[in-house]
Amino acid sequence: MTRRWRRVVLALTLLLIFAAIMAPHFTLAAQVEGGGKRFIQVEGGRYYTAALRNDGSVWIWGRNLWGELGLQETVNLRRIEAPVRVGRLSDIRSLSVYGSGHNLVVKSDGTVWQWGAADGYADQQVHSLLPRQVDGVSSAATAAAGEDFGVALLEDGTVWSWGRYRNEALAQDARKPAPVPGLSNVVQVAADGRNAYAVKSDGSLWKWREPSAPSNTDGAVSLHPVKIMGFSKIKQVSANNDQLYALDSKGKLWTLSGSGKAKSYHSELTIQSVRAGDGYVLLLTAQGDVFSFGSTVTGKQGKVAGLLGVTAIGAGSHHNLAITKDGRVWGWGGDKYYETGGPPTSEGGMAYRPAPARQAVDIMINGQRFDSIFPAIVTDFGVLVPAKPLSQALGAEFSMLRDEDGSGSYQIGSNGRTVTFMMNQSLFQTGTKQAALPEPVTAVTGAVMVPYQLLEKGLGVKMTWNPQAGVLTVDRAEG
């Protein structure tokens, strides 16, 4: 073998060794980019859902009649039919939802943020509170939302609480954050109406009653926590409408009898997580199965069929939620407002069997995320995008045209290009040419939704849909 060939063989050998070493890294990068975004927590409110993803983003969907989703200051959207990212929220590590629009998150820096339904405005319109920091709370690990208050578990094991902020006019009436006396070494907090609970590191369970809003001063208040007797080695608590469920370190569940005594609840099951619902309880077993008892959201008792490998659960007022090991959210129960994450599958606005929620979609324009109160919706043919806001983000003008017979069409214009299309049609006009779309233009909750190919072909921008990552990339030439 000549010296030249020896050098070639040596170079190829080194190249193969380098490829073997780097192959796992390339594979990992592909997995993270293609499927690394996973939901890790999901919580249900009254007809709506909020979910936390492992990239620190929060997504929300369902009813918005009272501004519970916190997407608009003045509300004109009654529901959101697919997951939409909540703006202003990033680096989130925990999430809590209560009732008709009290939402709390804790950021990785230990600050607590609130958003959702707002009231007390003089214009008689429905308002939302956009995400804003709860002043005076820091070093929080988790938080729990109650009816008119919030509770934060700090990293040092102490607990703080405060009155719910509703708007600037009522800000002076809201109780300022302050430590809850007598609590230390706490590992979990929970809230139910005006009741708050804490689990200590020694497994004991404590309860206290928070003050109500100034406009509702009925009932006794006790900011001095009292130990609930009969419970030991507790690691998790959940309550709803004064119905209490406590999970111990062996995975056994306990509740209170009619006489106020601790009693075992479905001892045949080994539980890893519990969520108290409105008249029912949702359980996640150590094997990853889901059970529900009481006035369940579908009327059925026992094991919930159609779910495998569940890692987290969430209980709404009339719907249930689960996250499977692949990071997908599933929903079932009441679905009149698409709170399960997908359209109803039965008459009466119900989803009797768990079904996957619609995929969360990020739209990236020249590397920058495009946020909108209207979600992009994945279909069997691709992705539908909100035509007006996305067109405007691309520097195009969106308009509606009315014909003499009362019919209408839509037009998008940019840089000498004009795209004309009509509702429920899968053809569009660009210049003198007509082109086909993979599916018709449609309307979803106040937005004209078009297949992304309409903007791609009509405006001449490059768009790439990655279904594994849930990302629609838009490359717009500058200038």
Share of the chain above pLDDT 90, in %: 81
Q: Between 285 and 27, name the one with better pLDDT.
A: 285
Q: Between 94 and 123, name the one with better pLDDT.
A: 94
pLDDT at 1: 46
Name the pTM for this structure: 0.90
pLDDT at 42: 98
Query: What is the pLDDT averaged over residues 369-384?
Result: 96
pLDDT at 334: 97
pLDDT at 404: 67
pLDDT at 21: 30
Flag whether pLDDT at 18 surpasses 50: no
Three-state SS sequence of 280-323: EEEEEECCCCEEEEECCCCCCCEECCCCCCEEEEEECCCEEEEE
Q: What Å distances lie between residue 374 and 70, 78, 153, CA to CA?
A: 13, 12, 34
Q: Which of 67-71, 367-371, 387-391, 431-435 has the lowest mean pLDDT?
A: 431-435
* CB-based contact 277:290 (threshold 8 Å): no
Number of Cα atoms under 13 Å in the Cβ half of residue 226? 9
Contacts (Cβ under 8 Å, ≥6 apart) of 28: none
Share of the chain above pLDDT 70, in %: 89
Query: What is the pLDDT averaged over residues 120-126?
Result: 88
pLDDT at 120: 81
Q: What is the mean pLDDT of the chain?
A: 90
Domains located in the chain, CATH noted: 39-356 (2.130.10.30), 362-475 (3.30.457.10)
Q: What is the DSSP string of 343-411?
A: --SBTTTEEEEEEEPPPP-EEEETTEEE--SSPPEEETTEEEEEHHHHHHHTT-EEEEEE-TTS-EEEE
Flag whether pLDDT at 16 surpasses 60: no
Flag whether pLDDT at 104 surpasses 60: yes
pLDDT at 432: 87
pLDDT at 284: 98
Flag whether pLDDT at 324 surpasses 90: yes
Neighbours of 475 (CB within 10 A): 12
pLDDT at 406: 61
pLDDT at 441: 98
Q: Which of 33-42, 134-143, 354-363 has the lowest mean pLDDT?
A: 33-42
For residue 169, the Cα-to-chain-centroid distance in whole angstroms is: 29
Q: Between 373 and 403, name the one with better pLDDT.
A: 373
Flag whether pLDDT at 466 surpasses 60: yes
First and final CA of the chain: distance in angstroms? 58
Residue 139 tokens read as 């070093």
Query: What is the pLDDT averaged over residues 56-85?
Result: 97
pLDDT at 33: 35
Neighbours of 427 (CB within 10 A): 13
Contacts (Cβ under 8 Å, ≥6 apart) of 450: 384, 385, 387, 421, 437, 441
Q: Between 22 and 423, name the one with better pLDDT.
A: 423
Of the pLDDT bands very low, low, confident and very high (cuts 50, 70, 90), residue 26 is: very low
Flag whether pLDDT at 479 surpasses 50: no
Query: What is the pLDDT averaged over residues 242-266?
Result: 96
pLDDT at 10: 41
Flag whether pLDDT at 244 surpasses 80: yes
